[in-house]
Amino acid sequence: MKAFEWTTKTQMDGRKIWYYRLTDQALPEKPAVRVITGSNVLAVQLARRMADTGSVILVGTGNPEVAGAEVIPNPWTVPEVWEWITHRYRIRCVHHLAGWDDWKDRPPDALFSSVVNGGLSFMRTIYAHETSGMILVFPESSQPQESRVLGEALHQLAQQVRFIAPVKKWPYAMLHVPKNFFGTILKSDHGRGTLSAFSVRDDIALDAFTKACAFLDRQLTGDDPFFRGDESQRLPDSSGSRDQPDGGAPMFSALMSRSEVVIPDISD
């Protein structure tokens, strides 16, 4: 018997809302699981890869069956999704692949709000469940493109993450990529690299993100105090972060300025 059953209800405005019902009790000892969110093909491929190394839940895809992974069709923004996952599992890490396939057609202010609000919502989810996470934001296009508005939005997102990072342990690693890593790295007016990378080919982007996820795993289980969450290395909450130099915690500032720390070279 499945651990849950899904049903749908159609709203007055035509929207279809998914609901679930638990069919068993929570396990006394919850197994660890990685959660991958995103509806694009990269999310599905990443779930297949990571399923070889442990339990994986793929959230928000229209693909009903992904080999080796549990699939939840709801978007990751639905609170009940996380309620069900935490009922059954201990979340080890969340990997969020956010594809912006319609960024060219959006008004600049709408695109800016979507990127910033979506990124902050994801980070608040990470915070709420006291886990770790990584995010990749990219346009779903076969050719590298540049967008000043998108670059500015991602720069703003990078500036705000420090204000909502958890204080008990280091839970979040932002995917920073070196210049010309595998496509065009967006830059703000200040010339700073953002957390977005445009992939020329899906397989290159997937390989980069897979290795970045593995790197995050090693850091989270290693002895590096940068990721271990020692008292001296804790991040401040939103009420205290503005008192730190440069508006954020020294630990996070170091992460922002050392992109090679977050994602390894994939040339080997």
- Higher-pLDDT residue of 190, 80: 80
Q: What is the pLDDT of residues 9-22, one digit of tens each?
A: 777 777 766 666 65
Length of the chain equals: 268
CA pseudo-torsion sign 228, 233, 234, 237: negative
Domain ranges of the chain: 100-262
Average pLDDT in the chain: 59
Mean pLDDT of 194-221: 54
Burial class (CB in 10 A: 0-12, 13-18, 19+), 103: buried
Q: Is the pTM of this model over 0.75?
A: no
